[in-house]
Amino acid sequence: MKKCKFDTCDNNVFGGMYCRNHQYMRTDKKDKPIKKTLLKRNYKPTGEGVLFDSIISTRRPISFISGLNIKDIDGIINHNNCHHVLNKKDYERFRLYDRNIILITKYEHHLIHNGTEEQREKYVKEVMSEYGVVVHWEKLEELKQILINEL
């Protein structure tokens, strides 16, 4: 076995005729320093995060639609519990309007965006039987009309 080129070292050669301990002495290194570049993001802060945080900290953690305690249902309240009544795409002016944002459970949020009418009706029955609470989907439409009239 070949021995390290370093004068007082008898370790076996690892690469470039030097052992693992003396690799820093190699002159034949082909390793080039890695050029680090920053990732460019097309992300501009909208201010929603700050608004959501203030709403979460100041409002009671009660669902606007069902009146259920969000902390009891979801365990924690976060940005997923905030819902824009008037969507951000069509009503850009209302994006950061605090009256346009309501607190609801994550499942209610899912039902609003992705649920069918049958799924919503099933949810109403489940909440009524389990918690004895009536879910008022119509409150969402009423608030929507109030906000549109503010235009």
Distance from CA of residue 34 to its chain's centroid? 32
End-to-end alpha carbon distance in the chain: 85
Q: Is pLDDT larger for residue 22 or for residue 28? A: 22
Confidence (pTM): 0.70
- At 73-92, the pLDDT tens digits run 999 999 999 999 999 999 99
The pLDDT assigned to 32 comes to: 64
- At 44-70, the pLDDT tens digits run 888 999 999 999 999 999 999 999 999
- Residue 128's H or E segment, with its range, is helix 117-131
Assigned token pair, 14: 């690892």
DSSP percent split of the chain into helix, strand, coil, nearest 5: 45, 10, 50
The pLDDT assigned to 30 comes to: 61
The pLDDT assigned to 147 comes to: 95
pLDDT over threshold 80, residue 43: no
Domain limits of the chain? 59-149
pLDDT over threshold 70, residue 28: yes
Mean pLDDT over 125-139 rounds to 95
The percent of residues in the chain predicted with pLDDT above 90, rounded, is: 68
> Comparing 31-40, 44-53, 133-142, which segment has the lowest mean pLDDT?
31-40
| Whole-number Å distance between alpha carbons of 67 and 85 | 17
Distance from CA of residue 22 to its chain's centroid? 47
